[in-house]
Chains A and B, each alone.
Chain A
Amino acid sequence: MSRPLRLAIIAFGFAFLYAPIALVVLYSFNASKLVTVWGGFSTRWYAALFANAQLMESAWVSFKVAFASATLATLLGTAAAFALARFGRFRSRLLFSSMIYAPLVMPEVIIGLSILLLLVALGVERGVWTVALAHATLTTCFVAVVVHARLLDFDRSLEEAAMDLGATPWTTFRTITLPLIAPSVAAGFLLAFTISLDDLVIASFTSGPGSTTLPMRIYSQVRLGVTPEINAVSTLLIGAVGGALLLVALALRPARGGRRGAGR
């Protein structure tokens, strides 16, 4: 592939990927209410946004759900990653690993409907907690995949050295293993958090009165048409996720450098 062709493909490819997002951000600062008319720079839609109590309330619901579900998913997903990476070929390993990977590609409408039917069968009242539990079902798998990848190229001689020096398994885990996998655990947490923050379908099935999440609110507004306020809330979300991504990238980078330095 010649250099100009390669650069052209990359330029076009990234323009396709990023232009729509850039347009949303740009038009959130548009003073005009019409999407196609540029009325000058303004932050009036951000002011309108913060004055919109409904939107702010659902943003808070989304934050609570994302935090609770990401915490649960991080605990379960990290444990699952250890089981996959360290426990050898335990019985029903195939079922276990299928349950870990299947939700990654399972249609969200099915996950949402099936969990709702479970909640109804158990007679559980729907609310913030049920959405968080449902989200953790999906995001546990993402955490497991991220942490599992890190555990696979983990230098186990470090743990063996600690054990040889008399550390108990728990002390070894706390002082050697955990600090070494911490970046991937943190990355898993942030990914779980962003997925939960973004989910519309599963939340729609599993939320109850008073637990309308931000994507549900945005969805019902988007169906009615394009409004600058949605551009503003989108821009804030893009900024938040962009910040989280940067943290993930920073969290995962020292791990890679450390591995090279230690092992190879």
Chain B
Amino acid sequence: MRARRRLTWGERLALGAPYAYLAVFFLAPFALIVKISLSRQALSIPPYEPVFDWAQGPAVWLDKARELGFDAWRALAADSLYLEAMGGSLAIAAASTLVAFLVGFPLALAIARSPERWRPLLVALAIAPFWTSFLIRIYAWIMILKDEGLLNHALMALGVIAAPLELFATRGAVVLGIVYSYLPFMILPLYAALDKQDAALREAAADLGASPFRVFLTVTLPLAMPGVFAGALLVFIPAVGEFVIPDLLGGSDMLMIGRQLWNEFFANRDWPTAAAVAIALLVLIVGPLTLYERGRVAGEGAP
């Protein structure tokens, strides 16, 4: 790392422009979320009553502080709906992360053990679906999983089942949708960790009499743990706040926090509660997010 130095004016502009943009559009709005969550719902446009007005001065602020609207927060704590939604999100995200690992690890390993000249192409092909429309990939699974969908139709035509299976609008469908959508996030760090492993370590273990399974368990897997960790975080974090997948593939009774936020905002037009739900969601992911950030900073320092 180089020592601190004075930046030229051009450099200050290059730093200042994205800095200011993200501060205004990404950072500052979080303060607004907190502010709105303390407001009261109102039948106006916008549908909330501001509690604070910055122009009023400190004397009025103190008065107003006494009548802060904790309505949204009280509702959040009192209504088991929100707790269930948070629990549901965590459970679905955890299950999806596990399944994504079980599917992604063999695939990442198979790619990492392929001849060297094929690897870049295989990795690119494993990542490419991520860049095709998210909505369309979820739509494809609706087409496949519906009661009168392609999978049921094919299975019935083959005589495997007599009546359509109930696949659509289930928790399993949501997990499948999340795994399918975020699999590239799991494969990429796993592959990066597996690819740079020295084959000599495995050969040494095998030479010393370890069975292939034992080599995998004592050499390959422990060395891949940073990749496992990174992949798990990259699937888990977006899965917790996911809206589109539970909305389209889950049943109407499927409670998840991202969907709850959406419903409060668009269906109930209850902005204070939506803001409070957003903060609750942030709290849910702040732990994993900190871990991710720490891993990233460590990785940035390494080279």
List A residues at the B interface (Cβ < 8 Å): 1, 5-7, 9-10, 13-14, 16-18, 20-21, 23-24, 27, 35-36, 75-77, 79-80, 82-83, 86-91, 94, 96-103, 105-111, 113-115, 117-118, 120-121, 133-134, 136-137, 140, 144, 152, 169-170, 191, 194, 197-198, 200-201, 204-205, 215, 218-219, 222-223, 226, 230-231, 234, 237-238, 241-242, 244-245, 249
A96 touches B15 (CB 8 A): yes
Closest-CB distance, B165 to chain A (whole angstroms): 14
Query: How long is the Cα–Cα vector from A115 to B26 in the complex, in angstroms?
Result: 7
Query: Any chain A CB within 8 A of the CB of B224?
Result: no
- A82-B14, A103-B26, A107-B240 known; A16 vs B180 contact (CB < 8 Å): yes
Contacts of A83 in B (CB 8 A): 11, 14-15, 18-19
CB-defined contacts of B183 to chain A, threshold 8 Å: 17
In the assembled complex, B132 has its CB within 8 A of some CB on chain A: yes
CB A133 to nearest CB in B, in angstroms, measures 7
**A residues within 8 A CB of B146?**
35, 226
- Which of A27, A99, A120 sits near B22, CB closer than 8 Å? A99
* Closest B residue, CB atoms, query A84: B300
**A contact residues around B238 at 8 Å (CB):** 105, 107
* Segment at the A interface, from B59-67, B69-77, B78-86, B277-285: B277-285
B260 to chain A, nearest CB (A): 9
B113 within 8 A of A: yes
- B interface vs A, CB < 8 Å? 1-5, 7-8, 10-11, 13-15, 17-19, 21-30, 32-33, 36, 46, 103, 106-107, 109-111, 113-114, 122, 124-126, 128-129, 131-137, 139-144, 146, 148-150, 153, 180, 183, 233-234, 237-238, 240-244, 248, 258, 261-262, 265-266, 271, 274-275, 278, 281-282, 285, 289, 292-293, 296-297, 300, 303
Contact assessment for A88 and B5 in the assembled complex, using a CB-CB cutoff below 8 Å: yes
In the complex where A17-B129, A117-B29, A200-B244 touch, is A79 in contact with B136 (Cβ < 8 A)? no
Q: For residue B237, which residues in chain A have a CB less than 8 angstroms away from its CB? A: 105
Q: Which residues of B contact A111 (CB under 8 A)?
A: 26
With A234-B133, A234-B136 known to touch, is A88 a contact of B143 (CB < 8 Å)?
no
- Interface class of chain B by DSSP: helix
Give the Cβ gap from B192 to chain A, nearest Cβ, in Å. Answer: 13
The answer on a CB contact under 8 Å between B106 and A13 is yes
Is the pair A35, B300 in contact by a Cβ cutoff of 8 Å?
no
Check B33–A9 contact: CB distance below 8 A: no
* Residues of the A chain whose Cβ atoms lie less than 8 Å from the Cβ of B103: 13, 16
Main secondary structure of the interface of A (DSSP, over half): helix
Interface contact B32-A223, CB-CB below 8 Å: no
Give 11 A-B contacts (CB < 8 Å), ordered by A residue: A36-B148, A80-B18, A89-B2, A103-B22, A109-B281, A110-B33, A114-B30, A144-B18, A201-B262, A226-B143, A238-B133
Count chain A CB atoms within 10 A of each CB in B7, B25, B128, B282 and give the residue with the most: B25
**CB-CB nearest in chain B for A101:** B296
Q: Is the CB of B136 within 8 A of A118?
A: no
Contacts of B150 in A (CB 8 A): 23, 35-36
Task: Give chain A nearest CB distance to B141 CB in angstroms.
Answer: 6
Inter-chain CA distance A111–B299, complex, in Å, is: 26
Q: A13-B103, A201-B243 are in contact. Are A100 and B1 (CB under 8 A)?
A: no
A35 and B140 CA atoms in complex are apart in Å by 11
